[in-house]
């Protein structure tokens, strides 16, 4: 057996390349001298701190500019999951350095979502919920220190000039004429940027690296810009804001993050991440061990769009009823649809974490939800497209108890009573005047079992003027009740569900289909909006078994033979609304 280090890792954990990196880092004792005072800060803040008792620190750093989507769930399970498994801490950090699009409404929703998925940001007595905007002063100091060490300068070129002089993938960029300003000149200009007297875009602070670097991100990237905008937390304290690529590494460092896990599009930013933190360490603002960035493939899911910008568009253009429309791939939408945290956990475990971009079929997500709901949901009966079945030889006022198991694979969940009467609702599809091949359900002369009840023999039917069947007639065979001695005396091939007309509860059911008609919305059309499936919602009136009369919002059931359904938050006892989460089998063509 391999020697175990003091961080015990369970064997059944899904292994991935990030876990391998962490294992290696821990075995190298990379963090054995890491100090942490209990709150974020730079070198001086942690100078006299004890050793960090968290083995690793990760973070989930959403920008509060929209609602979280299913892609974020992958990142949440990864970051919080690693912290949990390695006895570390995962911080929830609002990356709110861009004042314009951010809002408290999003902050609240993100907090709810992370908790809903089963995580919190506590570690021992620490409450690791942070806002990047709390670090604006430190970031400003960091910028000053880079100017002082000759590693940053204020550029007064116009945005167009900066773009032109950046060069291309094949041609080196040109040095800015402002690149050789003295430290004092740069300090004065940076103070002018901060003074509020300069308009947006007049100047920008840039890191001084290498305009000929093959990595365009290293060609003197902008690190601070002027933006006269009110921030949702810092108000009008600042009119200069740090660029994301400058802010993010600093946020990680101040929070003592060990593994900064992000999606692949940031791979080219890693050299700047390391450059910046090393400079700030050399300038005495930070100390080792510095955080390291690791990239993984983002989740791409067929038939949906996973980008906050596009999701905002779907809501504002009213293609859906709101952020929590059950067709939306937002976590609030998924919740209302009946997708569960356990289902997301199974899904993310299955798709794993890799370094190569790929597309995951939406069916994989639905299968995970089905699997989890199959275990967690009790069964109930619902007739979605009702026609009447009359048992002619059953007395008009007779009522009889039938017993239906709440879960076919779990007897401990007990049984419930369903009342049998002379008139029942059955599915329109369970009767045919002229049966097609291999049709074993009701047709004149055929016998089927009324699930949990009797075998019945179909004797006739009524049609309306349009030829639509309105009522089916049958006679029951008294000795054949399910569970009785004679239950097996008559063999039938069909078994149909039903609810008593006298006892049934009427309800509205929302049947959801995919929001987009194609696997890759927008790939072969002018806009992804052109690929919207116009019939992604069908609402119908259905008949539920009487035991659902007291159903409460967010209660979930399997409706036998139909799929999984959740009671909508807008549902009430007078007006029951159910949303179909997913069908029993994948029948999407
Ligand atoms: P969007 O492109 O939808 O706006 P984003 O990346 O800008 O998403 P952030 O709020 O910055 O959203 O993301 C927070 C975290 O979630 C980041 O670490 C990001 O890498 C991760 N994340 C976002 N989208 C996905 C995805 N599709 N798959 C995996 N992780 C994701
Ligand atoms: Mg973003």
How would DSSP label each residue in 494-540?
EEE--EETTT-EEEEEEEE--SBSSSSTTTTSS-GGGGB-TTSEEEE
pLDDT band at 469 (very low <50, low <70, confident <90, very high): very high
Q: Which residues are catalytic?
A: 63, 298, 308
Per-domain boundaries in the chain = 17-135+244-294, 137-242, 308-378+508-582, 382-496
Q: Is the CB of 313 under 6 A from ligand 1?
A: no
Summarize the confidence of residues 34-63 as an average pLDDT.
Answer: 97
pLDDT band at 11 (very low <50, low <70, confident <90, very high): very low
Q: Would 308-378+508-582 and 382-496 be classified into the same CATH topology?
A: yes
Dihedral (CA of 106, 314, 261, 149) sign: negative
Q: What is the mean pLDDT of the chain?
A: 95
Pull the structure tokens for residue 257.
Answer: 């993050």
Closest protein CA for atom 15 of ligand 1: 62
Asked if residue 86 lies in contact with residue 56, where contact means CB atoms within 8 angstroms, the answer is: yes
Q: What is the pLDDT of residue 7?
A: 43
Q: What is the pLDDT of residue 15?
A: 80
Q: What is the pLDDT of residue 467?
A: 92
Q: What is the pLDDT of residue 185?
A: 98
Say whether pTM exceeds 0.75: yes
Check if CATH label 2.40.50.140 holds for domain 308-378+508-582.
no
Burial degree of 483 (CB within 10 A; 0-12, 13-18, 19+): exposed
Closest protein CA for atom 18 of ligand 1: 262
Q: What is the pLDDT of residue 13?
A: 59
Distance 66 CA to ligand 2 centre (A): 10
Q: Is the CB of 260 under 6 A from ligand 1?
A: no
Distance 318 CA to ligand 2 centre (A): 23
Q: Is the CB of 71 under 6 A from ligand 1?
A: yes
Place domain 382-496 in its CATH homologous superfamily: Ribosomal Protein L25; Chain P (2.40.240.10)
- The three-class DSSP label of residue 546 is helix
- Reported as a single tens digit per residue, the pLDDT across 402-450 is 999 999 999 999 999 999 999 999 999 999 999 999 999 999 999 999 9
Asked if residue 263 lies in contact with residue 76, where contact means CB atoms within 8 angstroms, the answer is: no
Closest protein CA for atom 26 of ligand 1: 71
Distance 469 CA to ligand 1 centre (A): 52
- Reported as a single tens digit per residue, the pLDDT across 372-405 is 999 999 999 999 999 999 999 999 999 999 999 9
In the chain, what percentage of residues exceed pLDDT 70?
97
In the chain, what percentage of residues exceed pLDDT 90?
94
For residue 75, give Cα distances in angstroms to 80, 139, 188, 371, 538.
8, 26, 42, 22, 33
- For residue 300, give the ligand nearest its CA: 1
Distance 314 CA to ligand 1 centre (A): 18
- Reported as a single tens digit per residue, the pLDDT across 203-223 is 999 999 999 999 999 999 999
Q: What is the pLDDT of residue 99?
A: 86
DSSP 487: G
Distance 308 CA to ligand 2 centre (A): 8
pLDDT band at 14 (very low <50, low <70, confident <90, very high): low
Ligand 1, atom nearest to 63 Cα: 10
DSSP 35: B
- Structural element, H or E, at residue 89: strand 89-94
311: closest CA among 108, 115, 101, 95?
101
Q: Is the CB of 306 under 6 A from ligand 1?
A: yes
pLDDT band at 102 (very low <50, low <70, confident <90, very high): confident
Q: What is the pLDDT of residue 325?
A: 98
Q: Tell me the CATH number of domain 17-135+244-294, given options 3.40.50.620, 3.40.50.2020, 2.40.30.170, 1.10.150.20.
A: 3.40.50.620
Ligand 1, atom nearest to 64 Cα: 10
Q: Is the CB of 262 under 6 A from ligand 1?
A: yes
Instruction: Assess whether pLDDT exceeds 60 at residue 588.
Output: no
Closest protein CA for atom 9 of ligand 1: 62
Q: Is the CB of 93 under 6 A from ligand 1?
A: no
137-242 fold:
3.90.800
Instruction: Assess whether pLDDT exceeds 60 at residue 146.
Output: yes
- The three-class DSSP label of residue 45 is helix
Summarize the confidence of residues 123-150 as an average pLDDT.
Answer: 98
pLDDT band at 12 (very low <50, low <70, confident <90, very high): low
Distance in angstroms (rounded) separating the CA atoms of residues 505 and 471: 19
114 backbone dihedrals φ, ψ, rounded to 5°? -65, -40
- Reported as a single tens digit per residue, the pLDDT across 22-43 is 999 999 999 999 999 999 999 9
Q: What is the pLDDT of residue 3?
A: 42
- Reported as a single tens digit per residue, the pLDDT across 345-365 is 999 999 999 999 889 999 999
Beta strand residue intervals within 200-245, DSSP E: 204-207, 222-226, 240-242
Q: What is the DSSP string of 297-360?
A: PPPEETTS---HHHHHHHHHTTSSSSTT-TTSSBHHHHHHHT--HHHHHHHHHHH---SS--EE
- The CA angle 347-353-357, to the nearest 5 degrees, is 100
Q: What is the pLDDT of residue 9?
A: 43
Distance 37 CA to ligand 2 centre (A): 29
Residues near ion ligand 2 (Cβ under 5 Å): 63
Q: How many residues does the chain have?
A: 589
For residue 258, give Cα distances in angstroms to 54, 82, 88, 118, 209.
10, 12, 10, 23, 25
305 backbone dihedrals φ, ψ, rounded to 5°? -115, 135
């Amino acid at each position: 057996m391999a020697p175990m280090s003091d961080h015990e890792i369970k064997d059944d954990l899904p292994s991935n390349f990030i876990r391998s990196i962490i294992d290696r880092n821990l075995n190298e004792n990379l963090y054995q001298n890491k100090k942490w005072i209990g709150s974020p800060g730079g070198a001086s803040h942690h100078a006299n701190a004890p050793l960090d008792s968290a083995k690793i620190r990760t973070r989930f750093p959403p920008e509060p500019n929209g609602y979280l989507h299913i892609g974020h769930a992958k990142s949440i399970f990864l970051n919080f999951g690693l912290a949990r498994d390695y006895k570390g801490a995962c911080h929830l950090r609002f990356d709110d350095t861009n004042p314009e699009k951010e809002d408290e409404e999003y902050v609240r929703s993100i907090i709810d979502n992370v908790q809903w998925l089963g995580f919190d940001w506590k570690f021992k007595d620490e409450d690791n919920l942070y806002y990047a905007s709390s670090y604006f002063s430190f970031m400003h100091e960091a910028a000053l220190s880079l100017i002082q060490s000759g590693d940053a300068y204020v550029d007064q070129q116009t945005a167009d000039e900066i773009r032109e002089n950046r060069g291309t993938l094949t041609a080196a960029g040109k040095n800015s004429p402002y690149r050789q300003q003295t430290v004092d000149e740069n300090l004065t200009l940076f103070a002018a940027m901060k003074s509020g007297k300069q308009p947006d875009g007049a100047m920008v602070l840039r890191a001084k690296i290498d305009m000929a670097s093959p990595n365009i991100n290293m060609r003197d990237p902008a690190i601070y810009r002027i933006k006269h905008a009110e921030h949702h937390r810092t108000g009008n304290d600042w009119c200069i804001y740090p660029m994301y690529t400058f802010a993010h590494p600093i946020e990680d460092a101040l929070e003592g993050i060990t593994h900064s896990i992000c999606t692949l599009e940031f791979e080219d930013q890693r050299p700047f991440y390391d450059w910046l933190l090393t400079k700030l360490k050399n300038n005495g603002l930070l100390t080792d061990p510095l955080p390291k960035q690791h990239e993984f493939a983002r989740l791409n899911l067929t038939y949906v769009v996973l980008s906050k910008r596009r999701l905002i568009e779907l809501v504002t253009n009213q293609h859906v009823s709101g952020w929590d429309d059950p067709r939306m791939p937002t976590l609030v939408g998924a919740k209302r649809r009946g997708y569960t945290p356990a289902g997301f956990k199974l899904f993310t475990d299955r798709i794993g974490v890799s370094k190569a971009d790929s597309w995951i079929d939406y069916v994989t997500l639905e299968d995970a939800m089905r699997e989890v709901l199959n275990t967690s949901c009790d069964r109930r009966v619902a007739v979605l497209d009702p026609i009447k079945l009359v048992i002619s030889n059953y007395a008009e006022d007779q009522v009889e108890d039938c017993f239906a198991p709440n879960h076919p694979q779990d007897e401990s969940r007990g049984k419930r009573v369903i009342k049998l009467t002379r008139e029942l609702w059955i599915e329109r599809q369970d009767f045919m005047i002229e049966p097609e091949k291999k049709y074993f359900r009701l047709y004149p002369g055929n016998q089927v079992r009324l699930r949990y009840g009797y075998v019945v023999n179909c004797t006739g039917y009524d049609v309306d003027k349009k030829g639509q069947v309105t009522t089916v007639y049958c006679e029951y065979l008294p000795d054949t009740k399910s569970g009785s001695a004679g239950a097996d005396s008559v063999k039938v091939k069909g078994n149909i569900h039903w609810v008593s007309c006298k006892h049934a509860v009427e309800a509205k059911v929302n049947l959801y289909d995919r929001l987009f008609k194609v696997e890759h919305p927008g790939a072969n059309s002018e806009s992804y909006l052109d690929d919207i499936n116009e019939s992604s919602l069908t609402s119908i009136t259905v008949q539920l078994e009487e035991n659902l009369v007291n159903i409460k919002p967010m209660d979930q059931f399997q409706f036998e033979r139909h799929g999984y359904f959740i009671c909508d938050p807008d549902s009430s006892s007078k007006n029951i609304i159910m949303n179909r989460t997913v069908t029993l089998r994948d029948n999407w063509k």
